[in-house]
Amino acid sequence: MEHMIAIDGGGTSCRALVADGNGVMLGRGKAGSANIMTDMEGACKNIVAASEAACREAGLSPDVIRSSGALLGLAGANIGNYGERIRALLPFRRSIVETDALIALNGAIGAEDGAMAILGTGSIFMARSKGAIRSVGGWGFMVGDLGSGARVGRALLQEALLAHDNVHRGSPLTSEILRRFEDDPQTLVEYAHMARPGEFGTFAPLVFEYAERGDPIGNALIEGAVRSIEEALEAIMPPDCGRLCLLGGLARLYEPFLGPRFRKLVKEPRGDALEGALGLALQRFHGTEERRHG
């Protein structure tokens, strides 16, 4: 196979990497969300757009993707038949669809044992111990993704409405949210009914910002999210775990709030999810996990 495509598709963006048949990385590209549970057709378009952009950066024709093998790590690939459905739509010569968590784990800890938490628009937790992989979460915004930006953002909007109704005592954070919706709860509700997980997630950094100022609602929301994160880590981490990698847009924000047991295990990831996807592509297509930089 002359070229390989590696894809990291999540709820916020889709990143692509094109490599030659030996695994030498040639170019990268990026497009919009590739959460196949939320928008199958949109995800497919963004996967293709990111792949074509990677080819252009590498000085290749975008048509190269049609003769290439692709390893895709996609949000939602672990649910139902979503993985098979997106595979049927893709233009690659051969497509292997895995979860975005698996490629992230492969990139973060390499061939060693360890654990990982992805904390972004969604959330998922995964660990490898003696070759066995265990995961928790990744069930999507409606019934899962605890500790995620989407769930924290939605909880913030809920607290703003409770403060408006004088059910809960408000705070500067809830006042700021209501101000953004022109102090009109109906405008907030209309937005919430139409919002996608990524749109809820845009409010999460504000929660951390206000928590650092001592905002009581900001702190309560983060404390609840951290409890969920630590419960998930407890469920997957082997007793002798020596490496925990925190990934995703909220990872740095969450780290100081974790308990001492978890903080002392946190280490920088060895590589990113795209490198993890390329490693898996080499393994699946050529029987090797060697990764090379061009």
Phi and psi at residue 159, in whole multiples of 5°? -65, -35
Q: Give per-residue pLDDT as tens, 27-86.
A: 999 999 898 988 899 999 999 999 999 999 999 999 999 999 999 999 888 888 999 999
**Looking at residues 156-167, what average pLDDT do you find?**
98
**Residues sharing a CB contact under 8 Å with residue 214, sequence separation 6 or more, in sequence order:** none
CATH (residue range 112-269): 3.30.420.40
Q: Which residue has the higher pLDDT, 258 or 110?
A: 258
CA distances from 292 to 23, 233, 239, 282, 289 (A): 6, 32, 33, 11, 10
How confident is the prediction for the chain on average, in pLDDT? 92
CATH 3.30.420.40 intervals, the chain = 3-107+271-293, 112-269
- Name the packing angle between helices 149-164 and 216-236 (round to 10°): 150
Q: What is the pLDDT of residue 45?
A: 97
Span of 162-166, 218-222, 290-294 with lowest mean pLDDT: 290-294
Per-residue pLDDT band for 100 (boundaries 50, 70, 90) equals confident
Per-residue pLDDT band for 293 (boundaries 50, 70, 90) equals very low
> Which contacts of 76-80 are long-range, i.e. CB under 8 A and separated by 24 or more positions?
76/35, 76/36, 76/37, 76/38, 76/140, 77/36, 78/135, 78/138, 79/37, 79/139, 79/140
pLDDT at 177 over 90: yes
User: 10 Å Cβ neighbour count for 251?
Assistant: 17
The answer as to CATH 3.30.420.40 being correct for domain 3-107+271-293 is yes
Per-residue pLDDT band for 1 (boundaries 50, 70, 90) equals low
pLDDT at 289 over 50: no
d(CA 272, CA 276): 6
Per-residue pLDDT band for 292 (boundaries 50, 70, 90) equals very low
